Structure formats: structure tokens, C-alpha cells
């Protein structure tokens, strides 16, 4: 997934605002119905809120796996205590055409580092509102790999037991990927973030894919 095709002058997400002249409501029309509320500022804030919340999802996963906060990761299995962030999940893959591949890389140091740097980088980029195109690309690749590991298309696991898949087409990995892309193409980092300052940096002006 690549999110390019935006000019250097892109200044954020703006919806058209209909401007009207205040007049007395017509017969049968209420004053409330005649009022027009600009949509652009509200939409920008909603997108900014979604960006920060999504960023925190990635940052929390990084922190929990790094320090073992006793939620998804027990303290004794923390990365800082020698645990592997990928071993438990990838070694437990029991379905899909890439099952053996995931088993082979489970617990590998390079896989742990790539996964954790991905979580941290995507989380920081989203929270700060910078490099959203890079974050969207990296996040979509990560979600695609995790989708392949769970393989929701299958009704049964390799051993014949039910897969418990609830939707073979759209699951939360797909939704996260779409959200990341939407945040990038709408320049959601310009509101409540450092997106505008980031866009003015010389390297970013020369290389729009850094936007």
C-alpha cells in the first residue's frame, strides 16, 4: 500500500462549507433547520482524535510487550526480560498457507526487532501526526501479515477444529489498515499534531512520500 499522489501544497482535510445568507425562515421552515454548521473543522477534529487513539493502540502494544505490563504480556515474558514478542503468537499459528513460514520465524531476533520497531514507529508517527504515509504503508503491511497469520478465510484449523473466525472478509486487521490509509490521505496530522510543521521540512518537501 502506497499513499502518494499528493502535491506539496496539500494543507489538510477540508470539506466544502456551504455559505448562506441569514434570512428569516420560510413558511413551514424552522430556525434550527435553516442554520448551517460548518463541517470542515469538526471533521478535522474527529480525524485527529481517531489518529491519536489509533496511535495509542500501537504504542500500548509496544509498551506492554516491552515491559510486561501484565495485560497481554506477563512481566516474566517482557522483551526486557528476554522474552520474545513474536514467539508466542507466531508459534501458535495453526491455519493458512503461511503456517510453516510463521513457525520458522517465530522468536527470531530480526523478527522481534522489526515487529517492535514497527509498533513504536507507527505509534509515534500517528500520535505526533507526522510521516503518516510511511506509517500507513508500514501499518498496512503489518496488518496484512497478521491477517495472514490468523487466516480468517478458514472455517477449520489445521487439526480440523473450528477456527472460530467470525468474518472471512473483513476483520479488525482490515479495518485498522483502512483507518491508517484514511488518516494519511486526509492529512489528519495537521490538526492536533505536527503535520504542518513536518510538511515544511526540506526533505519532506522534496520527497512527498515522507509526508
pLDDT score of 3: 40
Q: Which among 184, 185, 208 is positioned nearest to 54, based on CA atoms?
A: 184
pLDDT beyond 50 at 16: no
Largest CA distance in the chain: 74
Cα–Cα distance measured from residue 78 to residue 157, given in angstroms and rounded to the nearest whole number: 29
Predicted pLDDT of residue 40:
80
pLDDT of 63 above 60: yes
DSSP 8: T
Whether pLDDT at 5 is above 80: no
Task: Compute the half-sphere exposure of residue 205: CA atoms within 13 Å on the CB side of its CA.
Answer: 6
Q: How many residues are listed for the chain in this entry?
A: 211
pLDDT band at 28 (very low <50, low <70, confident <90, very high): very low
How large a percentage of the chain has pLDDT more than 90?
80
Residue spans of alpha helices (H) in the chain: 31-34, 40-67, 87-91, 99-105, 109-128, 132-150, 172-185, 195-199, 202-206
Q: Would you state the pLDDT for residue 10?
A: 41
* pLDDT, averaged across the chain: 86
pLDDT at 191 over 90: yes
Residue 185 scores a pLDDT above 80:
yes
For the whole model, what pTM was predicted? 0.80
Amino acid at each position: 500500500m502506497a499513499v502518494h499522489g499528493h502535491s506539496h501544497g496539500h494543507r489538510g482535510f477540508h470539506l466544502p462549507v456551504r455559505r448562506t445568507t441569514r434570512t428569516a425562515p420560510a413558511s413551514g421552515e424552522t430556525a434550527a433547520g435553516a442554520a448551517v454548521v460548518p463541517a470542515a473543522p469538526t471533521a478535522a477534529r474527529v480525524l485527529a482524535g481517531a489518529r491519536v487513539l489509533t496511535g495509542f493502540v500501537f504504542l500500548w502494544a509496544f509498551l506492554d510487550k516491552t515491559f510486561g505490563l501484565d495485560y497481554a504480556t506477563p512481566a516474566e515474558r517482557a522483551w526486557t526480560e528476554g522474552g520474545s514478542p513474536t514467539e508466542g503468537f507466531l508459534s501458535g499459528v495453526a491455519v493458512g498457507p503461511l503456517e510453516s513460514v510463521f513457525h520458522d520465524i517465530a522468536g527470531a531476533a530480526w523478527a522481534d526487532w522489526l515487529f517492535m520497531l514497527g509498533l513504536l514507529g507507527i505509534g509515534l508517527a500517528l500520535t505526533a501526526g507526522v510521516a503518516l504515509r510511511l506509517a500507513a504503508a508500514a501499518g498496512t503491511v503489518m496488518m496484512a501479515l497478521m491477517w495472514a497469520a490468523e487466516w480468517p478465510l478458514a472455517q477449520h484449523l489445521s487439526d480440523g477444529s473450528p477456527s472460530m473466525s467470525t468474518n472471512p472478509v473483513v476483520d479488525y486487521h482490515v479495518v485498522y489498515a483502512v483507518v491508517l490509509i484514511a488518516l494519511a490521505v486526509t492529512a489528519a496530522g495537521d490538526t492536533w499534531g505536527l503535520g504542518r510543521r513536518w510538511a515544511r521540512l526540506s526533505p519532506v518537501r522534496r520527497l512527498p512520500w515522507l509526508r
